[in-house]
């Protein structure tokens, strides 16, 4: 097959993300309500803040705002994770970042499959936060063996999608008809099934160890447990959710509201109680799927992340149990120590920036030898524009907070383990990309394109 007949991975990802959104809206009607609320708040925010609208247009982010999504799934075995890596590669999505959630009492470790190139992110930035169950953290050996045996009996992939993955790898791409079939078959892996694969007693035993263990082990596949639109004002969405018939989680996760947003803020409506039929006889409910919202800000450098983590830990020590208003107020007090203007963030090396020549500007040759000082002078003269690079990844503390709030937040009988990136990458069958390295490379490339030395 000629490569000219292949559909781009970006296009396949776009088809898949739209199909996933359609499926989730049909399965969770409240998600459609959430999308409508986010769209309304985004529109109002852009009208009220025309400078923000202009910036999004200039950065090429306006077009992607309406399709911005991330999802989350959980799998149970190394084979499932490794096959997902191959499936997502068809869509130009690669494992970025390692996240250990076990330290927060959630027995998984994770990565995010996402595009890594700027053009691919602009085309469609769909990401899937993917967690692998850590069976070794189940303290009851008999229960651990039972869970492993249940997982070994299932296949979460259709034969057709396995065939199409092989075709993609062997031939280097898929044609239009194959791409459509791939999307239709791949979606089946993430569909919700009301029928559990175990009896009620087994479900309850696994549920007692940890709700997430039951969610991963007891069903035919890793049903998508949330999709996440991007909002420009997460505080306003949180405030309006009850009036729209949604019960929001207690607090917004992540940093406080700022003039210069950083990293990632997240909230959600609480997980739904869904009718579940168990093998043999028995019916009950299972809580797994919810609606999440995110607001993204600037990617922070290692120095910025160290300061952020330190301040967040300080704030959390005294904010436990507060309602959202008090929680945000406390965060705001603590984070007053974190600069909230782009110039300081840039000069102190706390955030990553993308540099470009202003429209119609030319760089004087003499200014190019000045390094960082020369760069600041060019920015001050309006010849070079510095824009914060948007954070495309996740925060382990926030992810754990979202998971716990939708799992009841109760104590569990699983151990808290240490991070084990080596074991995760062995299961994945590939190394994960360092997300900070991606931001550093993008910043350096933008400076080099101007003939300037990287910072």
Contacts of 22 (CB under 8 A, 6+ apart): none
Q: What are phi and psi of 376, to 5 degrees?
A: -60, -40
pLDDT attached to residue 84 = 98
Under 8 Å between Cβ of 245 and 215:
no
Taking alpha carbons only, the member of 402, 131, 155, 110 closest to residue 269 is: 402
Under 8 Å between Cβ of 386 and 353:
yes
Measured in Å, how far apart are the chain's first and last C-alpha atoms? Answer: 45
Q: 366 in a domain, yes or no?
A: no
Number of separate helices (H) and strands (E) present in the chain: 19, 11
Count of Cβ atoms closer than 10 Å to residue 342 Cβ:
17
Residue indicated by tokens 């018939």 = 245
The whole-angstrom separation of Cα 329 and Cα 340 is 16
> How buried is residue 82: exposed, middle or buried, by Cβ count under 10 Å (0-12/13-18/19+)?
middle
The whole-angstrom separation of Cα 56 and Cα 248 is 28
Q: 263 in a domain, yes or no?
A: yes
| Angle, CA 307 vertex, CA 305 and CA 312 arms, to 5° | 90
pLDDT attached to residue 417 = 62
Under 8 Å between Cβ of 219 and 289:
no
Taking alpha carbons only, the member of 215, 335, 345 closest to residue 265 is: 335
Residues written for the chain: 455
Q: Which domain holds residue 278?
A: 3-297+392-419
Count of domains for the chain: 1
Question: Could you give the residue ranges of the DSSP H alpha helices within 364-434?
Answer: 371-380, 396-405, 421-428
pLDDT attached to residue 27 = 86
Q: 452 in a domain, yes or no?
A: no
Token pair, residue 454, equals 């990287």
Q: 33 in a domain, yes or no?
A: yes
pTM score, whole prediction: 0.89
Q: 146 in a domain, yes or no?
A: yes
Token pair, residue 17, equals 């993300």
Task: Taking each helix axis as running N to C, give the angle between helix 78-90 and helix 421-428, from 0 to 180 degrees, rounded to the nearest 10.
Answer: 60
Q: Which residues of 366-381 are buried (b: 16+ CB within 10 A; e: fewer)?
A: ebeeeeeebbbebbee
Rg (alpha carbons) of the chain, rounded to whole number: 23
Residue indicated by tokens 């969610």 = 215
The whole-angstrom separation of Cα 399 and Cα 418 is 17
> Which helix (H) or strand (E) covers residue 151, if one does?
helix 141-152
pLDDT attached to residue 59 = 77
Half-sphere exposure of 98 (CA within 13 A, CB side): 17
Q: Which residues of 244-259 are buried (b: 16+ CB within 10 A; e: fewer)?
A: eebebbebbbbbbebe
pLDDT by position in tens, the chain (length 455): 566 799 999 999 999 999 999 998 888 888 888 889 999 999 999 999 998 898 888 877 787 887 778 899 999 999 999 999 999 999 999 999 999 888 777 889 999 999 999 899 988 999 999 999 999 888 889 999 999 999 999 999 999 999 999 999 999 999 999 999 999 999 999 998 888 999 998 998 998 888 889 999 999 999 888 888 899 999 999 999 999 888 888 888 899 999 999 999 998 877 777 788 888 777 777 877 777 889 999 999 999 999 999 998 888 776 666 788 888 888 899 999 999 999 999 999 999 999 999 888 787 765 444 444 578 888 988 889 999 999 999 987 655 555 555 455 444 555 556 778 999 999 999 999 999 999 999 999 999 988 887 77
Q: 93 in a domain, yes or no?
A: yes
* CA 264 and chain centroid, separation: 9
Half-sphere exposure of 277 (CA within 13 A, CB side): 6
Under 8 Å between Cβ of 317 and 333:
no
Half-sphere exposure of 211 (CA within 13 A, CB side): 16
pLDDT attached to residue 320 = 66
The whole-angstrom separation of Cα 13 and Cα 358 is 32
Instruction: Supply the CATH number for residue 35's domain.
Output: 3.10.180.80
Q: 70 in a domain, yes or no?
A: yes
Contacts of 450 (CB under 8 A, 6+ apart): 355, 356, 357, 363, 384
Residue 379's alpha-carbon distances to 159, 351, 355, 383, 435, in angstroms, are 56, 16, 9, 6, 27
Under 8 Å between Cβ of 200 and 278:
yes
Q: 324 in a domain, yes or no?
A: no
The whole-angstrom separation of Cα 400 and Cα 448 is 38
């Amino acid at each position: 097959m000629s490569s000219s007949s292949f559909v781009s991975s970006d296009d396949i990802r776009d088809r898949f993300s739209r199909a996933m959104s359609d499926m989730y809206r049909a399965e969770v009607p409240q998600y459609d309500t959430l999308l409508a609320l986010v769209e309304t708040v985004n529109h109002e925010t852009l009208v009220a803040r025309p400078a923000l609208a202009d910036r999004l247009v200039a950065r090429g982010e306006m077009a992607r705002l309406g399709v911005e999504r991330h999802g989350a799934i959980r799998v149970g075995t190394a084979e499932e994770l490794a096959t997902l890596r191959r499936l997502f590669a068809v869509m130009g999505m690669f494992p970025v970042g390692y996240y250990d959630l076990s330290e927060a009492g959630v027995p998984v470790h994770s990565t995010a499959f996402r595009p890594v190139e700027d053009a691919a992110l602009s085309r469609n930035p769909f990401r899937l936060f993917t967690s692998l169950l850590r069976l070794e953290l189940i303290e009851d050996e008999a229960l651990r063996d039972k869970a492993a045996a249940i997982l070994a009996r299932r296949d979460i992939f259709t034969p057709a999608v396995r065939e199409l993955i092989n075709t993609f790898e062997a031939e280097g791409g898929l044609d239009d008809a194959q791409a459509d079939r791939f999307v239709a078959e791949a979606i089946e892996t993430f569909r919700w099934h009301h029928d559990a694969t175990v009896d009620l007693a087994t479900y309850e035993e696994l549920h007692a160890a940890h709700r997430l263990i039951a969610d991963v082990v007891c069903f035919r596949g890793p049903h998508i447990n949330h999709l996440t639109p991007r909002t420009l004002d997460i505080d306003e969405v949180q405030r309006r959710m009850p009036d729209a018939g949604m019960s929001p989680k207690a607090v917004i996760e992540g940093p406080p509201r700022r003039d210069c947003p950083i990293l990632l803020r997240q909230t959600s409506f609480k997980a739904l109680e869904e009718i579940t039929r168990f093998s043999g006889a028995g019916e009950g409910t299972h809580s797994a799927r919810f609606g999440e919202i995110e607001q993204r800000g600037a990617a922070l450098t290692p120095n910025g992340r160290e300061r952020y983590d330190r301040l967040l830990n300080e704030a959390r020590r005294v904010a436990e149990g507060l309602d959202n208003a008090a929680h945000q107020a406390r965060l705001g007090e603590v984070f007053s120590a974190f600069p909230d203007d782009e110039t300081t963030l840039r000069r102190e090396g706390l955030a990553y920036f993308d540099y470009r020549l202003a429209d119609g500007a030319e760089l004087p040759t003499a200014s190019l030898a000045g390094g960082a000082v020369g760069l600041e002078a060019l920015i001050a003269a309006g010849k070079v524009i510095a824009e914060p690079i948007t954070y495309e990844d996740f925060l382990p503390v926030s992810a754990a907070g979202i998971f716990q709030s939708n799992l009841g937040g109760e104590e569990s009988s699983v151990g808290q383990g240490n991070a084990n990136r080596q074991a995760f990458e062995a299961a994945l069958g590939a190394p994960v990309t360092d997300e900070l390295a991606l931001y550093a490379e993008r910043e350096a490339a933008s400076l080099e394109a101007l003939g300037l030395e990287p910072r």
